[in-house]
Amino acid sequence: MACLLETPIRMSVLSEVTASSRHYVDRLFDPDPQKVLQGVIDMKNAVIGNNKQKANLIVLGAVPRLLYLLQQETSSTELKTECAVVLGSLAMGTENNVKSLLDCHIIPALLQGLLSQDLKFIEACLRCLRTIFTSPVTPEELLYTDATVIPHLMALLGRSRYTQEYICQIFSHCCKAPDHQTILFNHGAVQNIAHLLTSVSYKVRMQALKCFSVLAFENPQVSMTLVNVLVDGELLPQIFVKMLQRDKPIEMQLTSAKCLTYMCRAGAIRTDDSCIVLKTLPCLVRMCSKERLLEERVEGAETLAYLIEPDVELQRIASITDHLIAMLADYFKYPSSVSAITDIKRLDHDLKHAHELRQAAFKLYASLGANDEDIRKKIIETENMMDRIVNGLSESSIKVRLAAVRCLHSLSRSVQQLRTSFQDHAVWKPLMKVLQNAPDEILVVASSMLCNLLLEFSPSKEPILESGAIELLCGLTQSENPALRVNGIWALMHIDKIMSTHGKQIMQAVTLILEGEHNIEVKEQTLCILANIADGTTAKELIMTNDDILQKIKYYMGHSHVKLQLAAMFCISNLIWNEEEGSQERQDKLRDIGIVDILHKLSQSPDTNLCDKAKTALQQYLA
Amino acid sequence: MSGQQQQQHHQQQQQQQLPAVAAAAVAPAPGVVLPAPTPVSAGSSPAGPAAVSPVGGAGSGGGGGSVGVGVGAGAAALLLHPPPPPPPPATAAPPPPPPPPPPPPATAAASPTPSISAAASSTGGATPAAAGSSAPAPFPHGDPALNEQEKELQRRLKRLYPAVDEQETPLPRSWSPKDKFSYIGLSQNNLRVHYKGHGKTPKDAASVRATHPIPAACGIYYFEVKIVSKGRDGYMGIGLSAQGVNMNRLPGWDKHSYGYHGDDGHSFCSSGTGQPYGPTFTTGDVIGCCVNLINNTCFYTKNGHSLGIAFTDLPPNLYPTVGLQTPGEVVDANFGQHPFVFDIEDYMREWRTKIQAQIDRFPIGDREGEWQTMIQKMVSSYLVHHGYCATAEAFARSTDQTVLEELASIKNRQRIQKLVLAGRMGEAIETTQQLYPSLLERNPNLLFTLKVRQFIEMVNGTDSEVRCLGGRSPKSQDSYPVSPRPFSSPSMSPSHGMNIHSLASGKGNATHFSGFESCSNGVISNKAHQSYCHSKHQSTSLNVPELNSINVSRSQQINSFTSNDVDMETDHYSNGVGETSSNGFLNGSSKHDHEMEECDTEMEVDSNHLRRQLCGGSQAAIERMIHFGRELQAMSEQLRRECGKNTANKKMLKDAFSLLAYSDPWSSPVGNQLDPIQREPVCSALNSAILETHNLPKQPPLALAMGQATQCLGLMARSGIGSCAFATVEDYLH
């Protein structure tokens, strides 16, 4: 809303800067400090809730003067405080206001102000900092540039309930990356903030709770610490559970459910702990209900999807709780036809959240159906669900498309569904479309799904191949993203006689991956692919004639990582297997490049698995 | 099964009874089929699903402050005032001081709240049984473990359903041996149900209902059933049904019958065909059934997990019901005997909060200040009614109100009331006749009542006519030790007051307050007002701290309805006689009133006596009393001639005269008439009559409003409006 107003205001400012606005700024330059103070106070009263006035004053250069007065040693504390209040009020306006303030280097000035002894002034600075840091235009890094800031903020936590509220709010907004978590953690955030959870002030409790949710997110170190923290003789998880109670404000229930979810996902709380099974999960399901606000429903579904993702038992419980699967179907009904007619405001609100709702529902369906066949069936049998997901594949919002692909991928793990629903709804068609020119994050999931659709028993296999999948997959094998390359090769492998037609591209992709700096898992997968390829005659030839590849295999046989050694050994075994055509020549060639020596070495390996494999391979030579 | 056999069976079952095992929190549901191994494992999709990470994870804060509820300032005025006090119950009157008379036989029955005494619990819900309900006493006496279980049940039910008056609507505690099909067997104190029919066709289905329907005043009701064995086919139904629904069926199949069935997981809503509802259930599962009597819905739980709404638009007065259909099926009910697997109290908390928010947000008129003015008027009229003139004056001054009644008039009433409450009836009548010459002439029945009271006070030795004859009344006779609220009682008109009171006291602390739509707005008070009200009180320059300290000591023996005003009075009447009380009367307003001081000194004299004697022990006084009795008899006859028969008057006189039949009237069966607390209704009737002559209400609007609210909650409970469970008048009185 505010942004829309911005342009006209600017224009009006240029043309008709009101005399009164200028008057306010002029008074800041009065030689009499008493008059300056009165001027600032009058300015404060003039700008409250008046975005136009705020913009005027900024254009007229009030900010640098206010900052000057705020930092000036000769200014009285009262004047400094009033300046901070006015600046805070300006920051409350539009995003452009905040940008202007940032351009004037307001943050260092306010942080400097925190060193004052005067509590009122400190609170005013913190309130202004809070407003600025919670704005989306402020880079959170600004909080961490000066290393002394965080410890000082920690120390200020003890000063008053306002410092507590503002500082916690700043932390929870500026903690967006693992290194932020680490900095805050190392400065004792957990100990300093934990006792605020029992504060008498609701706002303090709430902001402290938010701090813990961002600190614990994907952070085992913080999470493991949190489970053992005692506040007033109670363990932190117990306190979170109390905050989940159904008579607590929704915001509090939702945030404490997030805390417990993140702690669980970080491994600090077991997935079968009653606080997860009987408290957190039901609470998150409730957050998905129709009674909740759209924002709450989005957050609830996303958090629940994250909580149950790795655990089939939680998926089963969630699937029977409060008709969740049917409840989620309602996420697709925005904007409803009723809202369009009756209420424009409501329509606007619905439209804004429609995408978010759909992607949240897809994510949660993906998690629900990740492992259990019955749940997948229930999801697919939900009213028009396959249509909805398929439609989701072609939505404009990338977030929705990604979530829809994830959801389909999860459902495509079912053989039965592959043969029925997926075929009935010709899922492969929109999928192939998604695969064209999609960003990598979508491609990774979509190509994974394609792998499933290309399996031998999948009825979609033929039409997919006919619609040019091979070219597409070959394209993937050349991608810079190793995950995509592996998926590409993996999908290709399921195609009959692929080596005779596209052997070259595949070998090239394999070489690229094996050469590149990729993680162990990717390389292991690739070597396995190679081993699989080495099962067919054409492919064997392709490998044997490719010295490059042979050298790679040899290299990985001597790799420090056992998994990779084993995978390379698979390739060798397949190549030298006696009963197959041309095995003699391959054995000889491999002996020439020194494979036998390595096999002897490996047969002495302390790893029994590797040792056995090496011995078996050597026997092929003896026979 | 004959009664005798059944009895034996009971005992056997008791021996066998094991402590109930709470079901494992997350017992794996055997009904859920394990997923078939999927050939397309994660391994075959190398990239796997990317992690779903909630977007808001890095802390996108929802703005929104707390839901602050602040209603205008005026509302709290109510908070410092007591609810309408119970009129002195004839049977439960506190015994006069030494020597204590033998307790009247009915005293125990009048105990307002069902006590959790050992006797009550050992008979398993003795309260309803004693009240004449048909509740069977399911447990023989003597088993300590059973008693313990009963006590726990009682405690849990009291905690879960504090608003339920079990005298009126007993809670289900077990299955009914009378209300079941013959294929159903009951054991383990009628909590275990087993199937004993053939189980060949659906025609062999059999159900059992609980002993009582679910009272609406529960607000939220919950029970659980553990599947001990699914038997042959596991055709078990758990649900609700109305009285009279065919028991040769599973719950849900018929009109006014609702069930959730284990074999298919379907819900049956008064229909032979089910709707897909939830998972199946089988041996080891614990199924819960929750009835929401506020929105008339029902949901089930399985092993502590809510399965979502199953039924809507439920009719009232449903009974918990289970039905079985094949041999070997056994289920155990938990009506509160053990902790529930599902956290029902959390769900109740949510609804309590909802109802209370509804009350707090109730619209109180759009014109600004109107609400506050109304509350102030209520407070002011309350003060005036009871004659707290100084407080009333100060309150009116600081709230810019006009007091309808003249100050002198208030003081006059105050004087008369004081005389009545001191037992000085002769003076009271005389003063009334002086000040309101035609009042008693026009109310011969009232005059008669006053005179009868005067006669009683003569016997007591307190009336001025006998006192001037040298009679001295012992301290105990004149003091006013037990009544906590001498002035609150007069606030109720006898007719309406009795009614409200029987209700309020019957419920004990479980009176409710809700459903504001249907009751007067004026009743609703609000905590936001408390501070306001307080400050007003202080502005009357009362010594509040001191009064409060009295409050504290007193409230222990009184009850929780204490408030400043009331206790000021209490202080005076209970202690004023015994001490050299210069406290003055009625908030110090009459401190400088000569007449009153006189009064006090006189009363002091009385306090030195130790023994009780008829008419204070003076022969002349006794003669005067007998003479007065004759006059009274004559008056009664005259009244009858003029106004026709009046049984109330007749009884009143008979009771009063009966006092003379005993050598020690105080400890006689009619002795309670001598109790000072009996002055209250008389005082109240007189005060109301005086007010009526001034065209002022017989009782203060505040008391009326609170009475209405209390009444309204009771009415809601009886009309099946469950929200009455989550609001009590008491919640708004402190």
Whether B451 shows a pLDDT value over 80: the answer reads yes
CA distance A367 to chain B (A): 8
Taking CA atoms, what residue in B is nearest to A410? B49
Q: What is the pLDDT of residues B79-121, one digit of tens each?
A: 333 333 444 343 333 443 334 334 443 333 333 333 333 333 3
Q: What is the arrangement of strands in the sheet containing B175-180, beginning at the earlier edge strand? A: B175-180, B206-210, B319-324, B237-241, B257-261, B266-269, B275-276
**B58 at the A interface (CB within 8 A)?**
yes
Q: What is the pLDDT of residue B92?
A: 38
Least confident window among A573-587, B600-614, B627-641: B600-614
CB contacts, 8 Å: B309 with chain A: 323
pLDDT at B402 over 80: no
Is residue B457 over pLDDT 60? Answer: yes
Distance CA A408, CA A393 (A): 9
Helix (H, G, I), strand (E, B) or coil at B316: coil
- Cross-chain residue pair B52–A302, CB shorter than 8 Å: yes
CB-nearest partner of B40 from A274, A322, A413: A413
- Report the 10 Å Cβ neighbour count for A41: 15
Q: Helices (DSSP H) in A247-384: which residue ranges?
A: 250-265, 274, 281-287, 294-308, 312-320, 324-329, 337-342, 344-368, 373-381
Q: Which has the higher per-residue pLDDT, A114 or B610?
A: A114
**Residues of chain B with C-beta less than 8 angstroms from the C-beta of A363:** 52
Amino acid at B199: G
Of B57, B64, B278, the CB nearest to A251: B64
Distances (CA, A) of A596 to A165, A547, A575, A615, B620: 70, 16, 13, 11, 138
3-state helix, strand and coil shares in percent for chain B, rounded to the nearest 5: 45, 10, 45
* Structure letter (DSSP) for residue B320: E
What is the C-alpha separation between B734 and B724, in angstroms, rounded?
Answer: 19
HEC sequence for A194-243 = HHHHHCCCHHHHHHHHHHHHHHHCCCHHHHHHHCCCEECCEEHHHHHHHH
Q: Count CB atoms within 10 A of the CB of residue B595.
A: 12
A52: which residues sit within 8 A by CB, 6+ positions away? A9, A12
Q: Are B450 and B644 in contact, with CB atoms under 8 Å apart?
A: no
**What does the pLDDT look like over B24-73, one tens digit per residue?**
333 333 333 333 333 333 333 333 333 333 333 333 333 333 333 333 33
User: Which of chain A's residues have a Cβ under 8 Å away from the Cβ of B59?
Assistant: 172-173, 175-176, 210, 213-214
pLDDT score recorded for residue B59: 35
Phi and psi, residue A263, nearest 5°: -65, -35
Q: Give the range with max mean pLDDT: B311-320, B670-679, B720-729.
A: B311-320
Q: Residue B185 forms beta bridges with which residues?
A: B194
Q: What's the pLDDT score for residue B559?
A: 40
pLDDT band at residue B232 under the 50/70/90 scheme: very high
CB atoms within 10 A of CB B628: 18
| A 115-144 residues with CB < 8 A to B | 134
A309 shares contact with chain B (CB less than 8 Å):
yes
Encode burial over A437-459: b for 16+ CB neighbours within 10 A, e otherwise: ebeeebbbbbbbbbbbbbbeebe
Q: Who has greater pLDDT, A219 or B615?
A: A219
Host H or E run for residue B1: none
B-facing residues of A in 371-390 (CB < 8 A) are: 371-374
d(CA A222, CA A175): 13
Q: Is B662 on the interface with A (CB under 8 A)?
A: no
Would you say how long chain A is, in residues? 623
Residues of A in contact with B38 (CB under 8 A): 373, 413-415
CB contact A258 to B (< 8 Å)? yes
Closest Cα in chain B to A271? B26
pLDDT of residue A497: 64
Nearest CB neighbour to B352, from listed A247, A279, A487? A247
Select the residue of A277, A372, A483 nearest B26 (Cβ to Cβ). Answer: A277
Q: Which residue of B has its CA nearest to A217?
A: B57
In Å, how far are A146, B13, B615 from B191, measured between CA atoms? 69, 11, 62
Q: Which of A202, A296, A313 sits opposite B66 (nearest CB)?
A: A202
A166 SS3 class: helix
Tokens of B72: 């205008």
- Counted residue by residue, chain B has a size of 734
Residue B66: which of B288, B357, B333 has the closest Cα?
B357
User: DSSP per residue over B452-464, as a string?
Assistant: HHHHHHHHHT-SH
The encoded tokens of residue B395 equal: 């309150």
B18 touches chain A (CB under 8 A): no
What is the reported pLDDT for B2? 41
Does B43 lie at the interface with A, CB-CB under 8 angstroms?
Answer: no
pLDDT of B235: 95
Interchain contact B61–A (C-beta under 8 A): yes
Query: What value does the mean pLDDT take over residues B228-257?
Result: 96
Both structure tokens of A91: 């920051």
Give A560's DSSP letter: S
Rounded (10°) CA dihedral A58, A60, A62, A65: 130
3-state SS of chain A: helix, strand, coil percent to 5?
Answer: 75, 0, 25
Strand B329-334, strand B192-195: pairing: antiparallel
Chain B closest-CA separation from residue A481 CA (Å): 12
DSSP label at residue B139: S
Rounded to whole angstroms, how far apart are CA atoms B81 and B76?
Answer: 10
Say if residues A322 and A300 touch (Cβ distance below 8 Å): no
Closest CA to A221 of A181, A260, A166: A181
Provide the pLDDT for residue A534: 65
Is the per-residue pLDDT at B426 higher than 50?
A: yes
Interchain proximity B47–A247, CB inside 8 Å: no
Check: CB of residue B456 under 8 Å from CB of residue B465: no
List the one residue out of B335, B379, B334, B386 whose CA is nearest residue B568: B386
Q: Largest Cα–Cα distance in chain A?
A: 106
Q: How far apart are CA A583 and CA A576, in angstroms?
A: 5
Q: Using CA atoms, how far apart are residues A230 and A191, in angstroms rounded to an integer?
A: 9
| A605 contacts chain B (CB < 8 A) | no
Whether residue B285 is predicted with pLDDT greater than 60 in this model: the reply is yes
For residue B30, give the DSSP letter. Answer: T
List residues bridging with B319 in a β-sheet: B241
In angstroms, the CA B156 to CA B152 distance is 6
Closest CA to A557 of A617, A623, A619, A477: A617
Query: Is residue B306 classed as helix, strand or coil in its secondary structure?
Result: strand
Helix (H, G, I), strand (E, B) or coil at B331: strand
Write out the two tokens for A353: 């959240």
CA-to-CA separations, B530 to A201, A566, B71, B75, B385, in angstroms, rounded? 21, 79, 11, 8, 21
Q: DSSP string spanning A442-506?
A: HHHHHHHHHHHHTSTT-TTHHHHHHTTHHHHHHHHHT-SSHHHHHHHHHHHHTSTTHHHHHHHHH
**Is residue B207 predicted with pLDDT exceeding 60?**
yes
Peptide bond into B99 cis (omega under 30): yes
Low-confidence ranges of chain A (pLDDT < 70): 1-18, 337-342, 456, 494-500, 533-536, 623
Rounded to the nearest angstrom, the minimum Cα separation between A186 and chain B is 18
* Chain centre distance of CA A225: 23
For chain A, positions 137-176, list CB contacts with chain B under 8 A.
Answer: 169, 172-173, 175-176
User: Residue B610 pLDDT more than 70?
Assistant: no
Q: What does the pLDDT look like over B326-381, one tens digit per residue? A: 999 999 999 999 999 999 999 999 999 999 999 888 887 666 677 888 888 888 88
CA A376 vs CA A369, A607, B44: distances in Å: 5, 41, 19
For the cut 70, the answer to whether the pLDDT of residue B553 exceeds it is no
Look at residues B523, B517, B514 and name the one whose alpha carbon lies nearest to residue B722.
B514
Side chain identity at B558, as an amino acid letter? I
Prediction pTM value: 0.70
Instruction: Identify the band that residue B734 occupies on the pLDDT scale cut at 50, 70 and 90.
Output: low
Q: Would you say residue B210 has pLDDT above 90?
A: yes
8 Å CB contact between A282 and A314: no
Closest partner residue to A251 (CB to CB) among B55, B62, B278 is B62
Of A414, A449, A525, the CB nearest to B38: A414
Query: B256 touching A, CB under 8 A?
Result: no
Segment 260-319 of chain B within 8 Å of chain A by CB: 278-279, 302, 304-309
